[in-house]
Structure 1
Amino acid sequence: MIPGAEAYDIDIGFDGREIERALSVGPEDVSPSSELTFARNVFVPLTTACRYTCTYCTYYDPPGQASLLSRKEVRKILETGVEAGCTEALFTFGDDPDDRYTEIHDQLAAWGHDSIHTYLRELCELALDVGILPHSNPGDQTREQMRAVADVNASMGVMLETTADVTAHGGPRAKSPGQRLATIRTAGELGVPFTTGILVGIGEGWRDRAESLLAIGELHERYGHIQEVIVQPVSNNERWREGSPDLEAMRRVVAMARVVLPAEVSVQVPPNLAPVRELLDCGVDDLGGVSPITDDHVNPDYAWPALRELEDIASGVGVPLEERLPVYNRYVEEGWVSERVRRRIESITRSPSSSRA
């Protein structure tokens, strides 16, 4: 049973043969992708307040130290992104701040907001007005919270990380895999194009990795909303000194993802965190969002590669590198996005300098 699943009415189950099949997969069982894609983004770390205290995460700050970007600060980041040709505004923040973050709540109230989600909506609308597509990662969300921002986002996301109950998730404030899966399910029910993923090396076992990927695949089979699944290794930082998974483990888990997931779901590996060149033959077809102007604020010790390096990675295996939008074409064509988002997509793709997929 997935921890927390019962509380969120998650009825995902696995046939033992499915798990055994996933566990048997190796790199030799997959073929390299015929192309690589990436999105050019600008990173907007809206707040570093988070209800969780995961032991591998440097993103969150404790109460009294957490930051909250102002509308003016966000506008400047967005405008800089547009000038640099970015099409995605990646809004990130720790999961809905709890009652400990009184200063964050007081600042939101002073700006006329009773929650971080109503503020997020205002800033997503700002992004669309400025000329860039919002992709928000607000962590666990209720149906009401996601509905409040879904129509002003091109796509959204949250990392499942793992279906296992691991100590790295931080004791009494630990994440619940059941709640994470409920958020992914809610996105499907609301028709939100979605990104999720697994975090490799935080104490989960191989069976946990297989179950995590199977759970994501099952939700996609029900709702059709998963664009891509990130396979991300945990990385050493000031809070995590347990190391990263080795290359052999990453090759195996990436291959497992490619075999387990439906063919239309992309397998993404972040090029600043993983040895991408050694993983491309395992089924990777997307390199995720890469920013030419802002840091990876979730992993600040690991700089984004330059576009030139991405081109070298692709040319090294003889495949084209294509720039894409934060929402995949099929979702636009099938009417998943709101009219407001669709209009912004049309204005971006009509741009004479645009070559995006």
Structure 2
Amino acid sequence: MAGAEIPGTSEYDFDLSLRDADVERLLDVTPDDVEAADELTFAKNVFVPLTTACRYTCTYCTYFDPPGEASLLSPEEVRDIVRTGADAGCTEALFTFGDDPDDRYDRIHAQLDEWGHDSIHEYLREVCEIALDEGLLPHSNPGDQTREQMETVADVNASMGVMLETTADVDAHAGPRVKNPGQRLHTIRTAGELGVPFTTGILVGIGEEWRDRAESLLAIRELHERYGHVQEVIVQNVVPNERSNYDRPSVKTMRRVVAMARDCLPEEVSVQVPPNLSPTRELLDCGVDDLGGVSPVTDDHINPEYKWPALQELEDIADEAGVPLRERLPVYRRYLPDELGGEPDGNEWVSGTIQRAMATDDEAGERYRRVLDAR
């Protein structure tokens, strides 16, 4: 029997076919039902926040600028940041900004117009090309996207992402511009239709119930089973910040949610926890196998009060768990073609632009190959 309809999905012609029996089974999963991973992975990235302006006003998020105070990183600033990241041995340029900031902020729109762009996605394409030129693989997380927006930038990204957060209609998403779960799911589906390797995840502690957590994970699984494009799922606990004081979920809660994610998702989909936000050591036996993108040179601009751990700390975490720690690229190996060290059907995923960037004989190409050859 099908479960309740996810809010907003009817607007996007969705049929996720979540069965009540699957939800109930997942709700019974505990950490005892899953096994620890036999290795941990991470990506070395540089964080590039094009703007912290967003059309939404979710108080648990620090990506919010009062109208009149929003700004954009210039192409020159972006080049300086990604060049620093490349010099530090990074392989990923993580581009972030709030959902459609040029829709809400006149100042952002005016700046884009001055630089010759009709939209922030046109500008995102330019800075992704800058990153490729400087020797980093772009991974963009620009929030909800239409098909047209994603098509504008897909070929200059090694992978992309958006947090589902939750399929529930929670008060945390309320306000003059309501964040719609159906819109997030539509973005994830669009990535699948366009063949974009994708990262998504759930946010724990913003007012959702246990059933909502199970439904969110099952919705992600359903979309991955249709398209095969989800490379990792983040299980992230909410943290207090200067704009809100949500209670951080308990370790017991996080252990159960992580175990649910590992049990629910196919083996090839990694379960990730952010080591600067989560009680990572206490979650490893629940099936965590990835620690996400960690930057040696820039802050976590989404959660600026929570510093990235140093590489040595990641190694200590892996040593304590008794497993190897391995660096990975922002696009998982199975999405790369055979000639780049991937799999025979990898040609279906990354664009010719990304393949050529990875196959170069310069320092950047050697850096990518070192990561792939070490696995």
Query: Shared fold (TM-score greater than 0.5)?
Result: yes
What residue identity is the alignment partner of 1:342?
Answer: Q
Q: 2:308 aligns with which of 304, 307, 311?
A: 304
Aligned match of 1:255 = 259
Residues in 1 aligned to 2:300 and 2:336: alpha-carbon distance in whole angstroms = 27
What letter matches 2:24 in structure 1?
E
1:40 aligns with 2:44: yes
Shift of 1:351: 3.9
SS of structure 2 residue aligned to 1:237: coil
Identity rate of aligned residues, in percent?
A: 72
Q: 2:61 — aligned with what?
A: 57
2:356 corresponds in structure 1 to 343
Instruction: Tell me, in whole angstroms, the C-alpha distance in 1 between the residues paired with 2:242 and 2:367.
Output: 42
Deviation at 1:55, TM superposition (A): 1.4
Change (3 A) 1:289 1:174: same
In terms of mean alpha carbon deviation, does 6-15 or 343-352 score higher?
343-352
Counterparts of 2:359 and 2:89 in 1: how far apart (Å)?
15
Q: Distance in 1 between matches of 2:293 and 2:285?
A: 20
Instruction: Tell me if structure 2 keeps the 8 A contact 1:52–1:170.
Output: no
Give the drift of 1:353: 8.6
Code of the aligned partner of 2:288? V
Question: In structure 1, what is the equivalent of residue 341 of structure 2?
Answer: none
Distance 2:171 2:210 in 1: 16
* Displacement of 1:99: 4.0
Unaligned runs of 5+ in 2: 338-345
In structure 2, C-alpha distance between the alignment counterparts of 1:340 and 1:99, rounded to whole Å: 29
Q: Which amino acid aligns with 1:83?
A: D
1:138-177 equivalence runs, <5 A = 138-177=142-181
C-alpha distance in structure 1 between counterparts of 2:88 and 2:16, whole Å:
43
In structure 1, distance between residues paired with 2:369 and 2:143: 34
3-state DSSP of counterpart to 1:69: coil
Where does 1:74-85 land on structure 2 (aligned, <5 Å)? 74-85=78-89
* Distance in structure 2 (CA, Å) of the matches to 1:293 and 1:98: 28
Note if 1:22 corresponds to 2:26. yes
Aligned residues: 357
Amino acid at match of 1:308: Q
| Residue identity in the other structure for 1:355 | V
TM-superposed deviation, 1:132: 0.3
2:193 to 189, 198, 201: 189
Q: Distance in 1 between matches of 2:225 and 2:365?
A: 29
The question of whether the paired residues in 2 share the 8 Å contact of 1:4 and 1:176 is answered with yes
Partner of 2:340: none
TM-score, normalised to structure 1, is 0.98
Contact 1:160 1:198 in 2 (8 A): yes
1:87-107: CA deviation from partner (whole Å, max 9, x where unpaired): 000000000125431111001
4+ residue runs over 4 A deviation: none
Distance 1:328 1:349 in 2: 16
AA of the residue aligned to 1:15: R
Distance in 2, matches of 1:286 and 1:303, equals 18
Structure 1: distance between partners of 2:169 and 2:295: 33
Match of 1:329 in 2: 333
What is the TM-score normalised by the length of structure 2?
0.93
CA distance in 2, matches of 1:110, 1:94: 20
C-alpha separation in 2, matches of 1:351 and 1:200: 35
Q: Give ranges in structure 1 of 5+ residues lacking alignment.
A: none
